[in-house]
Structure formats: structure tokens, C-alpha cells
Amino acid sequence: MTAEISKHIAGLESDFSCHDYNGRGKRDYVIQEGSIPIMISAPHATNTMRNGTIKCCDQLTGAICKYLHLTTNCHVIYTSRCPNYDPNYQPNEFGENAYQTELADYINRHNIQFLIDLHGAKDRDYAIEIGTAPTESDYNYSLKGYMFLLDLIKYTFEYQLQDVELPASKKTVCQNKIFGGGKQNTITKYIATNTHASCCQLEVNSLYRSLASENLLSKLIEALTGIINTLSCIEWNARQIRVFRLQRSATHKPQDKVELEQSVAATINKNNTAFFICSVAGQRELAKLHSLPSANSSSANATPDDEYIYLTNRLIEQVCGRSWIEGNEQKPALRNAPIVLCVSEPERYDIGLPKANQVDEIKLSTALYNDKAKLSNDYLFAVYNRYTDSRIYLDFAKADYQDHGRVSDKNGNPQKKIMIPRYYRRLLDLLYLPFSIVRSEGLEALRSQAKDDERLLLETCYERISGEDFYKLKTELTIEQRRALADIQRTLGAIDTVELLQIPRQHNKNQSIIKRVCSFCKQKITDIVNRFLEMFIGKAEYTLKTTWTSETDDKNEVARLSESTMNLLGIEENDKITVVFGEQKQTLRVLKSNDISDYDIGIPAPARKRLGMNSINDIVVVSRDMQHIFNRNSQAQIITLLGTFFAVLQLFDNRILGIITCLVLVPLLWYWVLNKERIKIK
């Protein structure tokens, strides 16, 4: 991989290095549009003019810029020939700096959140210098208050360079040491003054910008790629954004917990708020926060402090794209990899009861739908009950309640509400109180808000499920206890409102054109086959809540359904079902269970992992696998078709006419043979 990166960079650099690094572009600079709100600038990719003399280029910065555009789809700008001015220093003889002015306009038009202005330094006593255009009153003027950016850049480079065989000084990441970017008319200073974007200047030691040092060049590019990938999936409007160094937790249940030192956790956790963590792999995952009560609960190889975050094996694999492996690896070990934690204010909305003719889906009032429509290309939306840890993804194309403002508040103004039919409220555990099953963090949140006598009742009425991070309601409770418990939960607002989560879509932004065309064609073929199967077999799908299944089912990847649900889906034991959760889909064999309710589906742990679930209570769409049913009836189809073909060909002397007649009869015969499968669901 290192050699491939170096070879690719060498090829890209040829556009800049020709004519003794005066370049061969048709204009002074080039802007290439991306799809994420991050931009890279290389104003010295070619030679430039400064004070009437040639200023030599910063070698490889242009090639690195173009490479990052290809691999991360960030926006980029770079010089493509020698301009008669220095874009990072002064205007030309006409008082113009077109590079800066067009860049500022582009940033404002494309809502760029962060600009990295990439430069080269000589062989100095640091690897990277971060310039933040310091002023007399603000040392980090260009960051616009996003101080986490410093930690992200610092931690990412230190993580990538930790195994580099160079003196420690050559691996240092410093700030505003020599080139702070604030003393002259730098791009960083200009952009910070004239746009909304945060920005910084990166000065890269020449040791890391040499084709002769393939390993060092690869480390530089991997670090920049990691920074861009991380920033592409954070929530810039989050209430709090913090960067930590990754360590491995000593315990791995619940699987979606993150652990922080107590004093740090106290500043982040707020009433059981769910938050997202992001990594250099460009992955984002929902998580719950736990405090480290003592050093004994942390990794045995590190002491807890405010720089470290402890993740379970499951979360490490989800956000880093690979498992934690101790020892030597081709890539750096995951220890100390940067992890970004984004805590947003929860979006909570009142629950509305839809009309009887709109009970097939969860809907958003028109006011809320219109507010989220602009984000629907980049985000999935899920309704979330934080007490039971239940999520259900919305089909946004069908999510408009189409009330056109008729759902209103007391003053008659259009109101943002989530319209949840009774069946879906039942799945989300929002129909009947008290909660039948509640996650431990949810129960703790209720306890923290309750009065002393109410807290005692909460502790008395729930018992922990052995080996799990959930509590269940005790079966022996009296009616009075249930009513009192329901009143507590209702008073604490556990049933009248619900959260709406925004989850970034996993776009395949970096696929080649050939792969995109193949993927498009494959999807179209799949759609045609599904329409054929739906016509001849019939589609049946239901929305169900996930629960545990037996250990033997985990081993054999078997799902469990109640007999009634299997009848509604038109399936038999050992048939296959398709389970959809968000953008993930799994096909599983299914067996009947008398212990599963009509609302639930038991899904084995490996399948839950592939679907992106950390535990139970998430809500999925289950449908019968029409392809499996078609194959199961293949024997009857073949016998019927062959018998008909022989009979028809015997009746016609003209073979062509006979073949045409057979082809006309094929869909009719299919429809007749598969009639019993359609009857099961109609």
C-alpha cells in the first residue's frame, strides 16, 4: 500500500513539476468540488512570484491535495501554474489576490466548515506545525471556537507517527512556533476574517514530503485522510465536541458503552443523552456514556485521565473498521487512535396520534417534515426511546403526514410533531406505562429525576435481567404499584415526547465510475426481479421489535417468530425471512417459538451485529424471502412447465407457433402454480 500511494502521488505531481515546477495549467489555480464540508488548499503547489522574484514551490503539496480529493471527496484548490503573485502573501500589481477572494466566495457558497491550508517546511525540529493566525486577543483566531480541531490534528498525527523511526523532535506536532499564519496576508488569516469557516495552516516537514521516503509520505497522507474522514461525519452543531485517545475497555457489556474519567464524564453526560462517536475511518456510532469509578475498571495498560476514552471491542470494530489487535500490525495499533465524541441537544418532539387512514407508518407533521427534508439526502432519521433503547428508522419518502399546517399548537401555529400510530407506540414501549423493560441507563435517569419515595418505588419494581444491561418489570406487582409507577414515569415526561435521531448515510463517495455503473445496474436488476416475485408470489412484511433468541440459535443464525406472525407472513418453519434495519439487510432461516410474542422477533447475535444493533429492543422490518419461496416451489414449476410444453408441441405441426404459444403460457402457468403462496397472505 505504501508503494502504491507513493506511485500515485508521483503521477499526480507531474502536472505541477513540469517546466521546472511552473506547472502546465491553463489558469493560475483550480478548484475541484467535493461532497463533504472539508476543503484542502495548496497555494504553493507550483512556483509563485513574491516581490518580483520566484518563490519555489512546496513539493508534493499539490499532488497530496489532488490525492485527498480522489480518496475522500473533499473540496480542493491548488495552483496549477506560476501566478504573478503569491496567494499566501500579497496581492498582485493590481492589488488583487484572486486565489483568496474566489476561495472565500467558494467557501461561503458551499458551506465549507473547515479549511486546511497545506504548506511545506524545511527539515525542522517538528513534523507538523499548526498555524491558527494568532492575534493579540485570540491565540486561536482562525479556529472560530472549535478548539477540538487542535486535538484532532495533534492526536491523529501522533497516532500515525508513533512507530516512525525518527528522533522524537522530528515527530512533534507544534503550534504557531514559526509559521503561525497571522503576521502577513495569509490564506488562513483572510479566510478566518472573511468567511464563516474554521481554518488552519499546516506546515509539513520536508522529510514527510519526499518520494524517496515512501513510509513517511504514506504516514502523512494517512493522517490527513483520517482527519478529513473524521470531520466528514461529525455534527458541527453539537453542544459539545471532544477528542480523546482510544483505549480498550476492560469489560465489554453493554457493547455500546464508552467510559471516561469521572470528572470528564460529569461535564459531558446530561440526563442519559445518547451521543455519537466518530473515528479516522469515517464511521459514526450511537453510544452511551459510563464513568470510570476507579483505575481498576480501565484498561490494565493505561491510567485513566482526561485524554483517554475506553471503548468495548464491539464499538472499536464499528467505528475503526477493524478489531483491536495487540502487537505489530501493518497499520498502527489502534491504541491511542483519535476518537471524537459529539454531544448534541436531543431533538425531542411531542407525540401525535394520526388519523385512522394513516396508521401504516410513523409520520412527521408537515412543519417537521419540511424542516428535515433538506437533510434527507445525507441523513437517515430514526425515532428513539432513550429509556428502552429502542430505535425505528423512518421511510422518509413516506414520512410526510401531509397536514399542511393543520397539526398546530395552542396558538394555531404549525407544530412539529411525530405522529405515531398505536401499534408503533406499542413497539416503542410508549403506549402503556410502566415500561415493561428498561435499559439500565434509562432507569438511572428516571431515578436521578425522581423524588426519594419515587426512587424507592423504581428500585423496588424492577429487577435486573441476568447477564444483561436491562431491567424488567417484576411480574408480582400489584395494580396499585403499577399505577403509581406509571404516574411517576408520566410525570417525568417519559411517554409524551420522543427523540428524533439523525444518522449520516454511508455514501460510496469514492467508488470508481465503473463500480457505480455496475452497482446501479445491479440495483435495477434486483428491482425488476423483486417486482416479478411480488407479482407471482406476493410480498408480506411486518414491523417487529427485536429480542434475544436462544444460544443454539446464535450459533446456527436462526431467527424466531411466533406462530401467528409466521402465518401472517405466509411462511413455514425453515423458510427464510429478510430483516431490514436502516440501510442494513440480513436473510435468516426462521423457526417457530412459543416464547416469542406476536410483536417480537428473536434475532441471533451475529445477525444483530451485522445489522448495526448493539443489543435488543430495536425495531426492524421483517418480510418473507420471496426468492426462497420461488425456489422452494421450483419442482412443481418445472413439472408443470415441462408437461405443458410437451403437450403444446404435440398439438402444433408448426414448431415456431408451438414455441410462441409455450412462451405465452409460461407466465400464466407460473401464476397458477404459485397461487397457493399468494393465498397465504391475501
Question: What are the tens digits of pLDDT across the range 57-115?
Answer: 999 999 999 999 999 999 999 999 998 888 998 665 566 789 999 999 999 999 999 99
Distances (CA, A) of 261 to 293, 301, 584: 8, 15, 34
The average pLDDT across 273-300 equals: 74
Closest residue by Cα to residue 581 from 552, 540, 623: 623
Q: Which of 457, 478, 503 is the last residue of a domain?
A: 503
Query: What angle do the packed helices 479-491 and 452-461 form, to 10 degrees?
Result: 120
Residue 544 DSSP SS3: strand
Each residue's pLDDT tens digit, 578-624: 999 998 999 999 999 999 999 999 999 999 989 988 889 999 999 99
Dihedral sign computed on CA atoms, order 52, 58, 59, 63: negative
Same domain, 132 and 147: yes
Asked whether residue 512 is assigned to any structural domain, the reply reads no
Residue 297: predicted pLDDT? 44
Residue 284: predicted pLDDT? 85
Residue 331: predicted pLDDT? 58
What CATH number has the domain bearing residue 291? 2.40.40.20
Same domain, 19 and 167: yes
Same domain, 492 and 556: no
Same domain, 212 and 287: no
Measured CA to CA, the distance from residue 179 to residue 139 in angstroms comes to 13
**Which parts of 422-508 fold into alpha helices (H)?**
422-427, 440-449, 452-461, 479-491
Asked whether residue 513 is assigned to any structural domain, the reply reads no
Closest residue by Cα to residue 599 from 570, 560, 631: 560
Residue 236 DSSP SS3: coil
Q: What's the domain count of the chain?
A: 5
Residue 651: which pLDDT band, with cuts at 50, 70 and 90? confident
Burial of 323 (0-12, 13-18, 19+ CB in 10 A): exposed
Contact yes or no for 257/287 (Cβ under 8 A): yes
Measured CA to CA, the distance from residue 128 to residue 208 in angstroms comes to 9
Same domain, 282 and 415: no
Closest residue by Cα to residue 375 from 501, 482, 188: 501
pLDDT of 490 > 80? The answer is yes
Measured CA to CA, the distance from residue 570 to residue 681 in angstroms comes to 6
**Which range scores top for mean pLDDT: 50-54, 120-124, 250-254, 443-447?**
120-124
By percentage, how much of the chain surpasses pLDDT 70? Answer: 94
Q: Which of 343, 361, 387 is the last residue of a domain?
A: 343
351: number of Cβ within 10 Å: 17
Contact yes or no for 568/542 (Cβ under 8 A): yes
Q: What is the span of the domain harbouring residue 218?
A: 2-232
Measured CA to CA, the distance from residue 64 to residue 178 in angstroms comes to 23
Asked whether residue 499 is assigned to any structural domain, the reply reads yes
Each residue's pLDDT tens digit, 147-169: 999 999 999 999 999 888 899 98
Question: Which range is least confidently modeled, 312-316, 519-523, 601-605?
Answer: 519-523
Same domain, 105 and 175: yes
H or E element at residue 129: strand 128-131
Question: CB-based contacts of 673: which residues, under 8 Å, 6+ apart?
Answer: 633, 636, 637, 640
Residue 295: predicted pLDDT? 47
Residue 93: predicted pLDDT? 57
Measured CA to CA, the distance from residue 577 to residue 438 in angstroms comes to 28
Asked whether residue 313 is assigned to any structural domain, the reply reads yes
Question: Which range is least confidently modeled, 6-10, 155-159, 433-437, 517-521?
Answer: 517-521
CA geometry: angle at 416 spanning 37 and 238, to 5°?
35
Closest residue by Cα to residue 73 from 227, 228, 221, 219: 228
Same domain, 45 and 111: yes
pLDDT of 318 > 90? The answer is no
Q: Where are the beta strands (DSSP E) in 238-388?
A: 240-248, 257-261, 275-279, 284-292, 308-311, 338-343, 348-352, 363-364, 379-385
pLDDT of 510 > 80? The answer is no
Asked whether residue 154 is assigned to any structural domain, the reply reads yes
User: Chain-wide mean pLDDT for the chain?
Assistant: 88
Same domain, 368 and 486: yes
Residue 659: predicted pLDDT? 84
The average pLDDT across 331-337 equals: 80
Asked whether residue 570 is assigned to any structural domain, the reply reads yes
Same domain, 39 and 21: yes
Question: Which range is least confidently modeled, 270-284, 406-420, 427-441?
Answer: 270-284
Q: Which of 586, 603, 627 is the last residue of a domain?
A: 627
Q: Considering the entire predicted model, what is its pTM?
A: 0.84
Each residue's pLDDT tens digit, 173-214: 999 999 888 888 899 999 999 999 999 999 999 999 999 899
DSSP β-ladder status, 173-175 and 128-131: parallel
Same domain, 567 and 675: no
Same domain, 567 and 461: no
Instruction: Say whether the peptide bond before residue 606 is cis (omega within 30 degrees of 0).
Output: no
Residue 660: which pLDDT band, with cuts at 50, 70 and 90? confident
Residue 298: which pLDDT band, with cuts at 50, 70 and 90? very low
Residue 264 DSSP SS3: helix
Same domain, 172 and 274: no
Residue 327: predicted pLDDT? 57
The CA dihedral of 327, 328, 329, 333, to the nearest 10 degrees, is 50
pLDDT of 511 > 60? The answer is no
Question: CB-based contacts of 448: which residues, under 8 Å, 6+ apart?
Answer: 271
Residue 530: which pLDDT band, with cuts at 50, 70 and 90? confident
Asked whether residue 16 is assigned to any structural domain, the reply reads yes
